[in-house]
Amino acid sequence: MEWETVIGLEIHAQLATRSKIFSGSATAYGAEPNTQANLVDLGYPGVLPVLNGEAVRMAVRFGLAIGARIAPHSVFARKNYFYPDLPKGYQISQYELPIVAEGALDVVLDDGTRKRIGITRAHLEEDAGKSLHEGLPGVSGIDLNRAGTPLIEIVSEPDLRSAKEAIAYMKKVHSLVRYLEICDGNMQEGSFRCDANVSVRRKGAEKFGTRAEIKNLNSFRFVEKAINYEVERQIEIIESGGKVVQETRLYDPDKGETRSMRSKEEANDYRYFPDPDLLPVVLDDSFIAGVKATLPELPDEKAARFVRDYGLSEYDAGVLTASRELGAFYEEVVRRVGSEPKLCANWVMGDLAAFLNKDNLEINESKVDAAALAGLVVRIVDSTISGKIAKDVFQAMWASGEGADAIIEQKGLRQITDTGAIEQAIEEVIAKNPGQLADYRSGKDKLFGFFVGQVMKATRGKANPAQLNALLKKKLAG
């Protein structure tokens, strides 16, 4: 039996405002419990919420970036439920009239095809606080620092067909919110997390299967593992004659499995209604146009420009525009080198990316900055060193923090471009290997590589490869 997976994601991105969505408290992460919660956050009697305009601007930025409809009139509603970390007994969110509706994002799949993922809506809401259980024997603590932190909840259409697609989409949103500077994207701190609605159906079926909602996934890896686990679980149930029940499930990263939190019957009736403490958010065209004017170049636009202006492949352009910082780094290298954008791309995506990955560093923490990398690439372009030597130079730059020229000088790595010196080295190698020479001349063309290697060894890799090839061919021919 062939099965098809159907996934929709609800991504919660914490907006990078300085203060909370309805109060003046700071939103900074990691403060002592309850030091960033004022009377409004604590839900004291008599206090009222006042909307943070910056959160609205950020939501509009997101909406514009996904080509969505920005609602001229959106409404905050109360989602009522009791929980100790929810001080007012309701969460202020948007329900019937969200600020952003009907957008889409394109993701590039593994096979290079593009797929458009619909975004049903994105709405503003406040985060809840946290319950603390560790180190408090017999009691639970409540930390309300996070209560009232602005979130944008981004709800996708059920357009995703595999965990891989879900990750590709989630990464795209992650990249976008950081481009837009509306979210720091820090998943460990919970600034970017998601719930996944997962169901399966027989291939070709029109109706969706019954879905389970998996809560609070805060890493790409967990999303992938949780979805794959859940898909297998559901297929197993159906194949053994059972029925999937609609429920909310929690992913346990330690055990790598999902488990039931509450069934549909146990679900809260949230009794949504418009919050009478807040006026509708009314946005006119000039406000929206004003926000639009401040949008940066977006990833897809930037990638298209890289293909057009730098002659990069779509794949390379996609990699280099995955984050705003990486794109800026690459463009700085190209600007300084002044030519060879493809070679620059190879260096950024190749050795640089590998070293960053090895040391677990972000691009802005790189030990070789854009100017230094450009300094290295320039020496390849002007034939001072070969590409192969450049790899050693890069390693030394990474380790020492010194520039390419200094390392080339210290280590005497300057390429040999003097024809006489290369010819002399060739003659010595030929003289030492008469047998191989005879074999080559009798038709063993493959031995050409052996001679290249021997000459490079003799010149400690410094012979200019192009010159070496030409001269060697001539000499071997006799």
d(CA 69, CA 405): 53
> Given the complex with another protein, which of 82 and 446 has the nearer CB atom?
82
d(CA 163, CA 228): 6
Any contact of residue 88 with another protein (CB under 8 A)? yes
d(CA 375, CA 401): 13
> Binder to another protein among 28, 50, 282, 466 (CB under 8 A)?
50
The region of 264-272, 326-334, 379-387, 446-454 touching another protein under the rule CB under 8 A is 264-272
Show Cβ contacts of residue 343 under 8 Å, excluding neighbours closer than 6 positions: 337, 377, 380, 381
d(CA 9, CA 2): 23
d(CA 400, CA 405): 13
> Given the complex with another protein, which of 213 and 224 has the nearer CB atom?
213
Decide: 334 and 344 in contact? Cβ < 8 Å.
Answer: yes
Any contact of residue 146 with another protein (CB under 8 A)? no
Euclidean distance between the first and final Cα of the chain, in Å?
Answer: 68
Any contact of residue 44 with another protein (CB under 8 A)? yes
Show Cβ contacts of residue 303 under 8 Å, excluding neighbours closer than 6 positions: 314, 317, 318, 320, 321
The region of 46-54, 205-213, 313-321, 336-344 touching another protein under the rule CB under 8 A is 46-54
> Binder to another protein among 35, 69, 73, 84 (CB under 8 A)?
84
> Given the complex with another protein, which of 127 and 351 has the nearer CB atom?
127
Any contact of residue 132 with another protein (CB under 8 A)? no
> Given the complex with another protein, which of 242 and 280 has the nearer CB atom?
280
d(CA 58, CA 49): 19
Tell whether the torsion through CA atoms of 136, 141, 145 and 150 is positive or negative: positive
d(CA 165, CA 227): 11
Minimum CB separation of residue 128 from another protein in Å reads 13
Any contact of residue 261 with another protein (CB under 8 A)? no
Any contact of residue 329 with another protein (CB under 8 A)? no
The region of 246-254, 271-279, 296-304, 373-381 touching another protein under the rule CB under 8 A is 271-279
Any contact of residue 282 with another protein (CB under 8 A)? no
The region of 40-48, 116-124, 319-327, 349-357 touching another protein under the rule CB under 8 A is 40-48
For 455, other C-beta atoms within 10 Å of its C-beta total 25
For 41-104, give the DSSP string.
TTT-TT------HHHHHHHHHHHHHTTPEEPSEE-EEEEE---TT-TTSEEEEE-SS-SEEEEE
Minimum CB separation of residue 270 from another protein in Å reads 8
Minimum CB separation of residue 24 from another protein in Å reads 10
> Binder to another protein among 2, 32, 45, 255 (CB under 8 A)?
45
Any contact of residue 273 with another protein (CB under 8 A)? yes
Minimum CB separation of residue 10 from another protein in Å reads 20
Any contact of residue 439 with another protein (CB under 8 A)? no
**What is the separation of C-alpha 199 from the centre of its chain, rounded to a whole number of angstroms?**
25
> Given the complex with another protein, which of 146 and 178 has the nearer CB atom?
146
Any contact of residue 20 with another protein (CB under 8 A)? no
Minimum CB separation of residue 83 from another protein in Å reads 9
Report the relative pairing of strands 247-252 and 212-217 from DSSP bridges: parallel
Any contact of residue 89 with another protein (CB under 8 A)? yes
Helices 299-310 and 324-337: angle between axes, nearest 10 degrees:
20
Any contact of residue 277 with another protein (CB under 8 A)? yes
Any contact of residue 279 with another protein (CB under 8 A)? yes
Any contact of residue 374 with another protein (CB under 8 A)? no
Report the relative pairing of strands 69-70 and 247-252 from DSSP bridges: unpaired
Binding interface with another protein (CB under 8 A) = 39, 42-51, 78, 80, 82, 84, 87-90, 142, 269, 271-273, 276-279
